[in-house]
Amino acid sequence: MRKWMIAGAAILLTWSLASIGAAQEAQPAEPGTLQNYMQERQFRLDRAMPKEAQACIECHKAEHPGLFADWAASGHARSGITCLDCHLADAKDLDVSTAHDKVYETGGSPWANKEFLVPVAAVVTPKDCSRCHPDETQQYAKSKHANTVEIMWKIDPWLNGGMNSATERKTGCFACHGTVLQMKDGAVDPETWPNVGVGRVNLDGSLGSCTSCHTRHRFSIAEARMPEACDQCHLGPDHPQIEIYNESKHGTMYHAYKDEYNWDAAPGTWTPGLDYRSPTCASCHMSGSGSVMTTHDVTERLSWETQAPLTVRPSEFQAFPADTNWQTERNKMKAVCIQCHSQRWVEGHYSDLDRAVEEYNEVYFKPAKAKLDELYEKGLLDKTKFFDEHLEVEYYELWHHEGRRARMGVAMMAPDYAWWHGFYECKHRFNKYMKEANHLIETGEKDFVYPGFPNATGGTTRPKAIFGGQ
């Protein structure tokens, strides 16, 4: 269990123009330069701070100046939170870095000696963050973000069919969804690291990575409030939320006025009309607004599961049933919308969304799924692997690409994605799929199986850390 480093003084760090623990004078620098900035922002570390913590900071300042600069500019630094408060481990922890112990044996610097040796873990997890942020961690643990590795393995044929390679998974899928961390030779196994995926499975049993949104080592609340914090994962042909947002009036106003936003408002106080004009992703899905409380559970405020093949309520999503009532959560989102829109506007928007969902389900997905089942039943498609037959790909992209874009475009008020990238493409994909499927049924001909499907070498065993012995 991680230990909590408690300093004995009320003020752990004091700003000073002196260099960190150095006896000699700092060299003068030109105003406005990074060197000048660092002189102005340097800390006095010889007061009320464990010597081990001082050693960490001194060493990393020399070895990783960018990392140090981020920490020095953070709220953590201003509050006296040091490396050890987050990275200190018990020697028996599964994720303790014994490889790091060897640094103290090198004598490469005054701080690299056994006097300052403490066990540390390279990976800081939500469990570690929970010591200071218990509510946020508890909310995050319930979210789709934290549980996305489980969701991915339950609905993704790429993994379950072994249709992509370990490298393709780690550099692509797992970079956003998260790896299952393992240790090797006293350090984090490079087969599973580096990774800050939102659903990363950590060795202490916790799920996720807070640094997915609050990147280390500044851990900025302002950064997490900006839509750019979400665009590493929420983009592209299958869930282009950032493109949809940028097309919408919300995005247009954000780009026009973002320099006027008060990004650094205290948690829970960020207020529409006062601190910002147009909402960001965080404004709608996480931030407090009006009577709606701040949350780190992005599953809240959702009344439809638009990523699913068949659109369902979040509590009915079999891959990860949410412990929510869709009407309650819709009312929360409406309360957020009403901060800037009239009741009639908000009700009209949700009426549009509900009709679009119904039409997608009934007109496109259900007939396509029924046709797929018929092809399997008649032996015209082979169930052995997915994606090695053309109609399987057509069916998949109908819901995973065009179908998602249509639904999400409507949900976030982006007409080009609702129509041209969405339902327009659904029509053409659907027609082509049905034509080819009916031809196979009429002729009894089997669909062509792609020989030598490339790089279909990935394992199909679900991770025990999530699924046990299943």
* Residue 282 domain-assigned (yes or no): no
Both structure tokens of 282: 């965080």
Predicted confidence band of residue 13 (pLDDT cuts 50, 70, 90): very low
If asked whether residues 113 and 130 sit together in one domain, one would say no
Predicted confidence band of residue 18 (pLDDT cuts 50, 70, 90): very low
Q: What residues form DSSP beta bridges with 276?
A: 272
Range(s) of the domain holding residue 194? 124-219
* Residue 460 domain-assigned (yes or no): no
Mean pLDDT score of the chain, rounded to an integer?
90
* Residue 310 domain-assigned (yes or no): no
> Across residues 19-41, what is the average pLDDT?
40
Q: How many domains does the chain have?
A: 3
If asked whether residues 387 and 401 sit together in one domain, one would say yes
Last residue of a domain, one of 122, 156, 174: 122
Beta strand pairing call for 14-15 and 43-44? antiparallel
* Residue 307 domain-assigned (yes or no): no
Rounded-to-10 torsion of CA 380, 384, 385, 386: 50
Model confidence over 249-264: pLDDT tens digits?
999 999 999 999 999 9
If asked whether residues 411 and 359 sit together in one domain, one would say yes
Last residue of a domain, one of 82, 103, 122: 122
If asked whether residues 18 and 43 sit together in one domain, one would say yes
User: How many residues are there in the chain?
Assistant: 470
Distance between CA atoms of residues 194 and 192, nearest Å: 7
* Residue 268 domain-assigned (yes or no): no
If asked whether residues 128 and 172 sit together in one domain, one would say yes
If asked whether residues 115 and 26 sit together in one domain, one would say yes
Residue listed under structure tokens 């599964």: 94
Helix (H, G, I), strand (E, B) or coil at 414: coil
Distance between CA atoms of residues 385 and 370, nearest Å: 19
If asked whether residues 175 and 201 sit together in one domain, one would say yes
Model confidence over 184-213: pLDDT tens digits?
999 999 999 999 999 999 999 999 999 999
CA nearest 114: which of 123, 105, 125?
105
Contact 297, 285 (CB under 8 A): no
Helix (H, G, I), strand (E, B) or coil at 465: helix
Q: How far is CA 242 from the centre of its chain?
A: 14
C-alpha pair distances (Å), 448 with each of 17, 49, 415:
73, 69, 37
If asked whether residues 362 and 426 sit together in one domain, one would say yes
CA nearest 110: which of 55, 177, 38?
55
If asked whether residues 108 and 24 sit together in one domain, one would say yes
